[in-house]
Chains A and B, each alone.
Chain A
Amino acid sequence: MEALSSLIHGFAVLSDPMNILYMFIGIFLGVLIGVLPGLGGANGVAILLPLTFSMSPTSAIIMLSSIYWGALFGGAITSVLFNIPGEPWSVATTFDGYPLAQKGRAGAALTTAFTGSFLGAFVATLLLTFLAPLIAKFALQFGPAEFFAVYLLTFCSFVGMGKESPFKVISSMMLGFALAAVGLDTVTGQLRMTFGTVELLRGFDFLVAVIGLFGVGEILLTMEEGLAFKGKTAKINPKVVLETWAELPRYWVTAVRGAMVGCWMGITPGGATPASFMSYGLAKRFSRNGARFGTGEVEGVLAPETAAHAAGTSALLPMLTLGIPGSPTAAVLLGGLLIWGLQPGPLLFVEQRDFVWGLIASIYMGNIAGLIVVLTTVPLFAAILRIPFSIIAPVIIVICAVGAYTVHNALLDISIMLIFGVLGYVFKKLHYPLAPLVLALVLGDMAESSFRQAMLVSQGSLTIFWSNPLVGSIVTLALVMLSWPVISLFLQKLRSPRKPDAPVVAG
């Protein structure tokens, strides 16, 4: 097989000790960047891009992509430990990861997150190795209407759950949409809801809001409970990794689904963040444990992490083969390629064999190395929870402030973060759900602009959303997802004479 021999060639490129060294440096830096909220994968890679100038393009991309893998791994750490998503795609990881840590199972949550990430990346890399040209063509099918359909699907597979008052769910979600709309409207170039202030020009960033709502809000809640001054009794158990691994195989359906959702979202390119939400939503809906999601289910960590990492990895595919950035990080890497004098695009695979296959080989190696690095640190990170609250709380707030600042280099964002913290605290106490707000904030902007782009293309006709089999089936699937609670009720009625379980698996 041609791909296989190319891959072996790739490993030969990688076997240069310098490249391996760069890989490890990259992973280390990436984990660091992933842990620090705000300094996201895209920012992190952009910041370190100029450092790679004196390297060969192959070494440079190996190091930079390793930073990306590291960041993908690292984002989960603070989500689990402190309820602060280190990266946008680890927001969904907090939903079950943090409750797990609160139950004293931080080690299990971290192990699951890392293992899930690795599985997702592995599946995506296999795809990248053997099906690259085929899939590249598929990505080209995506115009504005298809993009909107994907966002709609993400949304519909996530909403419609929870025990909160539906009016509060709607209020919270609409607040998210409204905040997402502040700033410059990309379609018409008009300013919306800036009220003449300079500071509102940049709008409300998702990460700033999330650091406040989840991270600071959680600290306030912990303070209120008052039992905070002692450290949590997380025991350091070196065998936690093996024990968690023994538990994971029973969630293989969730892992496979997560990997598929991730690959699909990475290629299309919807991105890692929507992928993680979609995968979490689907797992909650179709898993046997679905009802217990949000209270600390291992499966609820596995689903978003697998999808996020699969999406992050497969986002490289359209970047390499078509020059389409599948994610903000991929956009920066794309810029890197140009700076190193390489031209991404269909010919890259032919002209730059060393580069492409060296990169692909480094994805395999980088993820294995990354997994080893992060897994060995699991007991260490779990031990952080034993630090007394009166030491760790101010440190967390400082790190949150740094994170909020680095998103846009804006001082006001730190204050906004704090306000979101108070908001998060009050919302939590009054049972306004935060997840719909966050999802609306992250998807609102993208969904709206792709909808309006589609409207421009079709000159205001909604039929564009059923104009071809691809967009039609995604939109229809989304609507099915939205009405799923009704459908599943109906299915249960049909089946009720027989046994009530047998979960439905959706692709």
Chain B
Amino acid sequence: MRKSKQSPLTSTVLAASILAVAGWSTSARAEWKPTKTVEFIVPAGTGGGADQMARMIQGIIQKHNLMAEPLVVINKGGGAGAEGFLDVKGSKGDPNKLIITLSNLFTTPLATGVPFKWTDMTPVAMLALDEFVFWVNAKSPYQSASDYISAIKAGGPNKMKMGGTGSKQEDQIITAAIEQTTGVKMTYVPYKGGGDVAAQLVGQHITSSVNNPIEAVAQWRAGELRPLCVFDTQRLPYKEPIANGKAWSDIPTCKEAGLDIGYLMLRGVFMPPGATQEQVDYYVGVLQKVRETPEWKDFMKTGAFNTSFMTGKQFEDWLKKAEETHRSLMEKAGFVAKS
């Protein structure tokens, strides 16, 4: 065995300690930099979509040396993420803390009444938006969204079973929106994670799902699942064929299919309240560099993400609008906790 190749661990240890020393000596410069380990909080458990993305970012930063101090991922998923958000809300002025969000930024406070909202934190940047696709089992007779919609209408209430992740969160919100459009109630079955939902659909324990692309793409490629439509205003841009010569871009939008519903999930990064502009700028810079790496681009492509990137005022406006949308969707569906 060649001696020159160190174990990845020792080299990381070395790198970390060297970087720590480097960070110390250059801290006199005007530009703000984190002075100690930065905690990257995931308001969800290990293994989910947000966790994956956070660890991806951690890995990219480590591999390309994008930050002077190490970034560590911490899961605080209790109470549908409330634990993580409350932690950040309570760490006013701590610049060494970040949090990645899911839709639970909007849904958890509404559904549970736990007091936090996005204005309790400092928005850094929108990293990407996660798409939602309407899926059915490939063995089912429904070739298009309109086939399935007519089957829902013909079958009557609770005939069709929609599986989704969690309760009163994004998947159930979309389900409620579909119910409002069709006027027919579906049975919503909540599962722990998106992977489970996709597998349950393959096993035909449920009749449809609104999985994110990355959760169901493997089953689509294997010919087990069929995408009906995507819950976005325009088709996905990815033209590479995935299954049977079809690409993500071949999936019609749900609006085209007569189901006028759009929903995107925010993958954004926030800081605790009271962060200075310099601190925000620093992290925006790091995240921009992350977005430039080939690993990130590949990941975006595999997961058919919407790669919108927003910061500052534009991001805040988007957040305001998204908060309103969630409130009205959840109020209509009766998901808002009575206080």
The CA-CA distance from A52 to B9 in the complex, in Å, is: 9
Of listed B83, B158, B166, B193, residue having the most chain A CB within 10 A: B83
Contact segment of B68-76, B121-129, B246-254: B68-76
Q: Does B63 sit at the interface, judged by CB under 8 A? A: yes
Contact among B51, B206, B218 with A345 in the assembled complex (CB-CB below 8 Å):
B218
Q: Does A18 sit at the interface, judged by CB under 8 A? A: yes
Q: Does B98 sit at the interface, judged by CB under 8 A? A: no
Q: Does A346 sit at the interface, judged by CB under 8 A? A: yes
Cβ-defined contact, B187 with A459, below 8 A: yes
Residues of B within 8 A of A188 (CB): 167-168
Give the contacts of B101-133 with A (CB-CB under 8 A): 111-114
- How many CB-defined contacts (below 8 Å) exist between A and B? 190
Contact among A141, A189, A338 with B168 in the assembled complex (CB-CB below 8 Å):
A189
The CA-CA distance from A49 to B191 in the complex, in Å, is: 25
Cβ-defined contact, A143 with B112, below 8 A: no
Given known pairs A25-B9, A143-B205, A344-B218, the reply for A339 and B52 (CB within 8 Å) is yes
Residues of B within 8 A of A347 (CB): 218, 221-222
In the complex, how many angstroms separate the beta carbon of A185 from the nearest chain B beta carbon?
7
Binary per-residue interface labels of chain A (3-34) against chain B in the complex, 1 for a CB within 8 Å, 0 otherwise: 00000000000000110011001000100000
- The count of chain A contact residues (Cβ–Cβ below 8 Å) is 65
Residues of A within 8 A of B112 (CB): 184, 189-191
Interface class of chain A by DSSP? helix
Cβ-defined contact, B47 with A345, below 8 A: no
Of listed B80, B166, B188, B218, residue having the most chain A CB within 10 A: B218
Q: Does B262 sit at the interface, judged by CB under 8 A? A: no
Closest to B243 in A: A347
Closest to A24 in B: B7
The CA-CA distance from A184 to B73 in the complex, in Å, is: 23
Contact among B62, B76, B202 with A408 in the assembled complex (CB-CB below 8 Å):
B76
Give the contacts of A330-373 with B (CB-CB under 8 A): 331-332, 334-335, 338-339, 341, 343-348
Q: Does B82 sit at the interface, judged by CB under 8 A? A: yes
A-B contacts, 29 listed (Cβ < 8 Å): A17-B1, A18-B5, A22-B8, A51-B8, A51-B59, A53-B62, A55-B8, A139-B199, A141-B203, A186-B190, A191-B79, A191-B112, A201-B82, A322-B199, A324-B195, A325-B195, A334-B47, A338-B299, A339-B52, A341-B299, A343-B218, A343-B302, A345-B221, A346-B222, A347-B218, A408-B75, A409-B76, A453-B190, A459-B158
B positions within 8 Å CB-CB of A: 1, 5, 7-9, 12, 45-48, 51-52, 55-56, 58-60, 62-63, 73-80, 82-83, 86, 111-114, 158, 161, 166-169, 187-193, 195-196, 198-200, 202-203, 205-206, 214, 217-219, 221-222, 224, 295, 298-299, 302-303, 335
Known: A53-B63, A201-B83, A338-B303. 20 other contacts (CB 8 A): A21-B1, A55-B8, A184-B79, A186-B190, A186-B192, A189-B166, A191-B112, A202-B83, A203-B78, A318-B199, A323-B195, A325-B47, A338-B52, A338-B214, A339-B299, A343-B218, A346-B224, A347-B218, A348-B218, A408-B76
| Chain A to chain B: the 8 pairs with minimum beta-carbon distance, closest first | A202-B78, A345-B218, A201-B79, A331-B47, A143-B205, A189-B167, A50-B59, A346-B222
A positions within 8 Å CB-CB of B: 17-18, 21-22, 25, 29, 42-43, 46-47, 49-55, 63, 139-144, 183-191, 194, 198, 201-203, 318, 322-325, 328, 331-332, 334-335, 338-339, 341, 343-348, 408-410, 449, 453, 456-457, 459
